[in-house]
Every structure is written in C-alpha cells, then in structure tokens.
Structure 1
Amino acid sequence: MACAALAAAIGCLPGSAAVARFAVLWPVRIARHGRRVWTAGPTVLGGCAGLLVAGPGGALAGALVTFTIRRRRARHRASSSAAAASAQLADAVSRITEELRAGSHPATALGGVRADGPLAREILVPAAAAARLGDGVASALRRGAAGRPEIAADVERIAAAWSLAERHGIPLAELLTRAHDDIRWRARFGATVRAQLAGPRATASVLTALPLLGIALGQLVGADPIAVLRSGVLGQVMLVIGVALAAAGVAWSEQILRSAVP
C-alpha cells in the first residue's frame, strides 16, 4: 500500500518549468509522452493493487482489468467527441451557407469561426487563414482534420465541395447545403442508434459482472473460491485466464456495438 501511495503521489506531482518551456518547442511530442504516461499509470497502480491482494496472478489480472476499463472509457469519450464534432461542424457549415446566400465572400464567411463551437473552430481555423491568404481552402480543411480521423469523412465532403466550386464554378452555397444535410443526417442517425443500443450495452455489462456474482455466491456457500484463486499455481492461472476471457468478452461486445454506429 505504501508503494501504491508513493506511485500515486509521484504521478500527481506538477511538471517542472523546464518541461513547460520545452513544450513550447515540441508540443506534440511532449503531449504524446504525457498521454502515454497518463495511460500507463493507472494500469501500473491496478497491477500493484492486484499484487497485494492476490499475488503475481492478481497483478496481471489487476493490470488487465484497469487497462480494459480505461480503454472502454476512452472509446466512449472518443465516440462522444466525434458526435459533438459532427454536430458543431454541421452548425458551422449551416452558418457559412447562410452567409454565402446573403452575399458574403467565402473568405468572409469562413472568417466567422469565432461563432462556432470549439471542435469545429479547431478544424476551420486553418481554412479561414488559408482563405485570407489566398491559399487552397480544401487542402487547409484536410490539414485541420489530420489529427481527427473520426471527423475526417465529414471534412472531406466539405473539402470536396469547396474544390468543385473553385474548379468548375458551381455555386458553393448549393454544394455546402448538400454536405450540411448529409452531415446532419449522419449525426442524427448515429444518435438514434446509440440510444437504441443502450439496452444491449446494459446486457453486456451485466454478463461481464456475472463471474463476480458467482465468486460472491461461492463465498456465501462456504466454497471459498477467493482462497483458491489466491493460493497455488493453478488458482493463479485460473484467475488470469478468467480475467482475460472477461476482458476479451468486453472487447468483443464493444466492437459489435461500435460497428453498428456510423
């Protein structure tokens, strides 16, 4: 417990001023390194807790459980972020289309990104800068979505519409209207599917928790399965295999449910 508390304290220490200064020079590299440390820290703590409770097999099981929970939460956050980005991007495209129909120049319409949501603003700011400088807007849009693969398809539709308008003289407002309708429909359809999958997600969670219920029932009837899992090589192997199968079941069910959402 002392080692676990010390590891948690080290993980919560603030960064030094030197690291902050270097982060200005290499922001992407420092951010990725910090993300890896933040991901590995709870897994190590889970392994330490499992080691204290159930020995070496418990360490592997604890690390696997922590990793599975964090991965599942990260996927849910990514899905929510993608849905929010699609909604904000659709609102931004609607605003740009309305300004174009009112007679605004495309560069002026793109320059109003301050009124958009933060996720859409992050994607459209490079395009607004490119429009002011007379650079290619479509390529700037693709650059803005380079780090967001979950929103790349929607941005590609907008970039393709912008390229068609610049190359063939097609009214940009009409093309952006079609892109807006498509993005909005996909966002609404995805939200509907996610709402309908709430029941299957709950069922998968209950099935995942059933082994814990079986262990609790075994303790109540006096079989003492916890002592069996904690002692002996066979018990340790059974613990690791059981947790690994449960984690595989969670990953499989998440993949099935995630593939149903556009």
Structure 2
Amino acid sequence: MDLNSVKIAPINSKLCSKQSHRPYAVCWIKEGITCIEIGNHLYENVSNSIFFLNPIHQWKIIRNNNESTGFIMYLSKEVLETPVLKNLHINKVRLFHQDEIPLFKLSPGIEKRIQSILEMIDELSGSQLNHKEEAILSLLNTFFVYCDGQCNIKSVVSNYNAKTNIVYNFKKLVDKEVCEYHKVSHYANNLNISSKYLNECVQEILSTSAKSIIVEQLLMRSRHELKFSNKTLKEISFGLGFSSPDYFSYFFKSHTGINPSILRKE
C-alpha cells in the first residue's frame, strides 16, 4: 500500500474537490462550518457530522471563521480494497455512494475518540516507525467501526428528519445523565414526548430500543471503571446510579455473562 494514499488535513481553509485525480474523502465537520455543497445541493446545519464523499462528487466546504473546524481524510481506492478493510460494512453498503450521500451524526462523547484516531493516523504517516502500514490500517479499521457502530446516528442527508433530531438529543441526554437516570421515561419527559414515541424513533433510526442505548452506555462506563480505575465495586455502583453493589453486579452479569469482580481481575 502506498502510504501517500492516506492523507489527513485540518479544515482550516475553504476546501473543495479537485477536478483531476479526486480521491475518496471522509469529511469530519466539528463546528464553524456554514455549509457543505455537494454537486448542486447545499447542506446546512452539519456540525458534528461525518460525510463519505465518492470521487465522482464535486464538493465544497464553506467556513464562517478562521479556526480549525474538523478534519478531512483522503483515501485511495487501493486503501479501501486492502484485506483489512475490504470486508467492512463501508464496502458492503457502499458508504461512498454515488447517489445519496450517507451522513453520520456523531453521538456525544465519540468526537474525542474520532479526533484521536485521525491524529494518530496523521502522526504515523509522517513517521519512520517500523510496521507503520499495519498500524495505519488498524486505526482506519477502528475509525470505520466507530462510524458504523450503534454509537452513531446514521441517516441520509436528503432525508434528515425530525426523528433523527430526537434520537440525537436523546443520546446527548443519555451521555450527560446516564449516571443518574436509567429509565426511558426520564429522557422522554425531558424531550417532551412519550416513551412509546421515543422508542419508535430510536427503533427507526438505529434499529434498537431506547432502553438498549441506556444499557449500552452503562456497560461501557462500567467496563472502563472496572478495568482502569482503583474504585471499589461499591464506589462504582453508586457512581453509576445503582441502588446497591448487589444490583450493579446483577445488572452487569445479566448483560455480559460475567461478574464484575472477575472482569476486574483480568
């Protein structure tokens, strides 16, 4: 693989596709972008989103300030066809679509991880380290898994509707309040909708239930605390909003098949 076929650049000026030799492009927009123009369509309100742009597209990013507002990663077809990436969902569902443009609205809490991955890819590309090609491909694999996981909200730009906004706001609330509130009804009330309608929106956009989103967040935080902190099980239990260590252990084992104490010893 030609390492020059993976390039990352900050969005710190107006960027557009080139007329010749246009590569595949992954555009992560953070803040400060007025809009992105793809073909003859102008898309606004795209902060905190990722676009997958096929070489066939002509596109232009329009900024409204002088600060860095995201990253753009250029990839060759050769990279996407390497064995590590070839069988990923990105190729199976053709995220780099020629017609509709897939949009990934990143969930809260994922942005820093995405940025770290892109920065590590960029650092490796400019290094002289041994086995850096394998490392770059591994990071690209991780990047695409994050983009395609249930931790992100997918839609199509042409069909970015009210239900997608509800799901995004729900996930934002869960990220902020899951250590205090575990019930779907709490989040539905905060969004001024019924629990039934919230579940309907989550099911349509993410093909899962609202409760499973809450459970997923609790499990992710539980695993992190158990493996990377010195807190006692009691401290972790109460810190995550469980009524007792016994109930926390029951919750964790029922969803993972193992006791939290066993994970801590691994």
**TM-score normalised to the size of structure 2?**
0.25
Considering Cα pairs closer than 8 Å and 6+ residues apart, tell me whether 1 or 2 has the greater RCO: 1
Which protein has the bigger strand share? 2
Q: Looking at CA atoms only, which structure, 1 or 2, has the larger radius of gyration?
A: 1
Which protein has the bigger helix share? 1
